[in-house]
């Protein structure tokens, strides 16, 4: 593999911004230069001029659903990892609610095998917690698995841990991070019955946050935080969707110091309840997109470090499925191709800094999950790098979507930034609109 010099970029890394160059050699970052580079380095390298571009570590998305195996008519690891690298995501962690559900070591190994042959990005997979698979979970090597997914009371599939004794055993004995989906199903079902009484089967999409309400989220999240505190569990609360839940979280800029961390997702930072009239079921997610004050509260929570990282909860369905009536329409939507440019748009709107975007999308996921040598521009680290032009237009249209489902809630939106290059393990996998499919990503390893 040739040495590659990424020359004269604006480098955003570890709270710093400076003009410099990055030298890649054999898949790793060999050196980082501030200012000029010697002729010797220039002559011995393949030089890519990235002046007036922004260079940052590759995005690490800790929350995706790539639907492989069993639901590959919607998406698969090959298609969605391609969309991910086009969006600057170089590593992903995928959830277990596929068919079959990933609740055993054997099924987990099957997923790793698929990814080793098909993923363009680096990868890891969660094992799902059930009422009776703790022994299976404890048989795993924590250095090779990103974490445990626990649906605490409400599930988008059939994986759930709702027996209180089993839940406590998991929280007491888990040997790695637990990522929890926190919505109280009892509250949801009560709300649903009331809304059905009013509308019958013709429920308007804007009632989704009424059904999957603030109280449903807060009740479940507070229960999880209370149990994790008592059991000293390493808990990560997925897709925080309400401002109220921020009161459960500690503000600290160093996530490694926390026993309880959290994530916010792009759709909860971009959309609010006023958008249901325009987008309808296309913005139906679980937890629901909620009020404007929640969206603004989540952005504040990111900026003051109550929320630790930004993810996508990428969960594609076909356009036909999303076009169904509310009760038949599944929750979720595609997001990985545009998560970074959406956050860069919030930067242009002066809602967040570039340094904070890199912290929450690159550094924090690496730190929270203890990922080995990724998430930072450092000597000796894997060369997972994304380069963006933050002053170039990108209009989202069907003909430039890479999702297998072939739609996006962002269709028609013109962003003011675009991804130019994405490197995974030193390999150029996305080049200004073109996917390079010859190189595959690697299995993530964890320092635990």
Residue 34 burial (CB count, 10 A): 11
Instruction: Report pLDDT for 156.
Output: 63
Name residue 33's beta-bridge partners. Answer: 21
Three-class SS state of 104: coil
The whole-number average pLDDT for the span 143-164 is 86
The whole-number average pLDDT for the span 249-263 is 92
Q: Count CA atoms closer than 13 A to 387's CA, side-chain side.
A: 28
Query: Is 216 within 8 Å of 295 (Cβ atoms)?
Result: no
Instruction: Report pLDDT for 2.
Output: 81
Specify the pairing of strand 385-389 against strand 418-424.
Answer: antiparallel
Q: Count CA atoms closer than 13 A to 353's CA, side-chain side.
A: 11
Instruction: Report pLDDT for 12.
Output: 98
Distance CA 65, CA 69 (A): 11
Query: Is 83 within 8 Å of 402 (Cβ atoms)?
Result: yes
Render pLDDT for 199-238 as a digit per residue (tens, 0 to 9): 999 999 999 999 999 999 999 999 999 999 999 999 999 9
Percent of the chain clearing pLDDT 90 (strictly above): 93
Instruction: Report pLDDT for 154.
Output: 67
Instruction: Report pLDDT for 37.
Output: 86
Q: Which two tokens stand for residue 391?
A: 């002053």
Domains delineated in the chain: 4-55+379-403+411-435 (2.30.40.10), 59-368 (3.20.20.140)
Distance CA 115, CA 1 (A): 23
Render pLDDT for 184-193 as a digit per residue (tens, 0 to 9): 999 999 999 9
Judge whether residue 132 has pLDDT over 80: yes
| Average pLDDT of the chain, as a whole number | 96
Give the range among 30-44, 88-102, 136-150 with minimum mean pLDDT.
30-44
The whole-number average pLDDT for the span 262-290 is 98
Query: Is 330 within 8 Å of 322 (Cβ atoms)?
Result: yes
Distance CA 415, CA 76 (A): 26
Distance CA 401, CA 382 (A): 28
Q: What is the DSSP letter of 288?
A: P
Judge whether residue 22 has pLDDT over 70: yes
Q: Which residues does 2 contact at the CB level (< 8 Å), separation at least 6?
A: 45, 46
Specify the pairing of strand 385-389 against strand 54-57.
Answer: antiparallel
Query: Is 177 within 8 Å of 147 (Cβ atoms)?
Result: yes
Render pLDDT for 30-64 as a digit per residue (tens, 0 to 9): 999 998 888 888 888 899 999 999 999 999 999 99
Helices 164-173/214-231 angle, 10° precision: 50
Instruction: Report pLDDT for 43.
Output: 82
Q: What is the 3-state secondary structure (H, E, C) of 127-173?
A: EECCCCCHHHHHCCCCCCCCCEEEEECCCCCCCCCCCHHHHHHHHHH
Judge whether residue 1 has pLDDT over 80: no
Percent of the chain clearing pLDDT 70 (strictly above): 99
Give the range among 151-160, 230-239, 248-257 with minimum mean pLDDT.
151-160
Instruction: Report pLDDT for 252.
Output: 81
Instruction: Report pLDDT for 256.
Output: 87
Render pLDDT for 396-439 as a digit per residue (tens, 0 to 9): 999 999 999 999 999 999 999 999 999 999 999 999 999 999 99
Q: How far is CA 104 from CA 138, 357, 444, in A?
A: 11, 35, 19
Instruction: Report pLDDT for 433.
Output: 95
């Amino acid at each position: 593999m040739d040495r590659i010099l990424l020359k004269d970029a604006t480098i955003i890394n570890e709270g710093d911004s400076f003009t410099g160059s990055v030298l890649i050699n054999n898949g790793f970052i060999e050196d980082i230069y501030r200012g000029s580079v010697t002729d010797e380095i220039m002559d011995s390298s393949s030089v890519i001029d990235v002046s007036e571009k922004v260079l940052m570590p590759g995005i690490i998305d800790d929350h995706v659903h790539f639907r492989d195996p069993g639901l590959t008519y919607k998406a698969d690891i090959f298609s969605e990892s391609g969309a991910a690298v086009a969006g600057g995501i170089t590593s992903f962690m995928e959830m277990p609610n596929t068919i079959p559900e990933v609740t055993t070591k054997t099924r987990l190994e099957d997923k790793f095998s698929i990814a080793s042959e098909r993923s363009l990005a680096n990868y890891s997979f969660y094992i799902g917690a059930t009422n009776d698979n703790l022994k299976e979970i404890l048989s795993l090597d924590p250095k090779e698995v990103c974490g445990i997914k626990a649906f605490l009371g409400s599930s988008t599939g059939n994986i759930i841990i709702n027996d209180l004794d089993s839940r406590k055993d998991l929280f007491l004995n888990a040997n790695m991070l637990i990522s929890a989906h926190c919505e109280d199903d009892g509250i949801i079902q009560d709300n649903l019955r009331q809304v059905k009484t009013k509308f019958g089967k013709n429920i308007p999409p804007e009632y989704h946050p009424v059904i999957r309400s603030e109280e449903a989220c807060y009740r479940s999240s507070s229960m999880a935080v209370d149990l994790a505190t008592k059991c000293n569990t390493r808990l990560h609360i997925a897709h925080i969707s309400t401002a109220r839940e921020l009161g459960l979280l500690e503000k600290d800029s160093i996530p490694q110091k926390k026993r309880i961390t959290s994530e916010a997702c792009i759709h909860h930072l971009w959309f609010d309840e006023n958008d249901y009239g325009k987008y309808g079921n296309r913005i139906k997610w679980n937890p629901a997109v909620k009020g404007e004050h929640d969206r603004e509260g989540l952005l504040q929570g990111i900026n003051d470090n109550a929320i630790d990282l930004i993810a996508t909860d990428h969960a594609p369905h076909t356009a036909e499925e999303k076009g169904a009536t509310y009760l038949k329409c599944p929750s979720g939507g595609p997001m990985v191709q545009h998560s970074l440019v959406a956050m860069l748009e919030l930067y242009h709107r002066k809602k967040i800094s570039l340094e904070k975007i890199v912290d929450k999308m690159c550094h924090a996921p690496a730190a929270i999950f203890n990922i080995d040598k990724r998430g930072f521009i450092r000597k000796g680290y894997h060369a997972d790098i994304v380069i963006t032009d933050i002053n170039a237009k990108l209009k989202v249209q069907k003909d430039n979507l890479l999702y297998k489902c072939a739609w996006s809630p962002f269709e028609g939106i013109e962003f003011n930034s675009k991804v130019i290059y994405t490197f995974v393990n030193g390999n150029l996998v996305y080049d200004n609109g073109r996917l390079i499919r010859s190189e595959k990503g690697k299995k993530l390893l964890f320092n635990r």
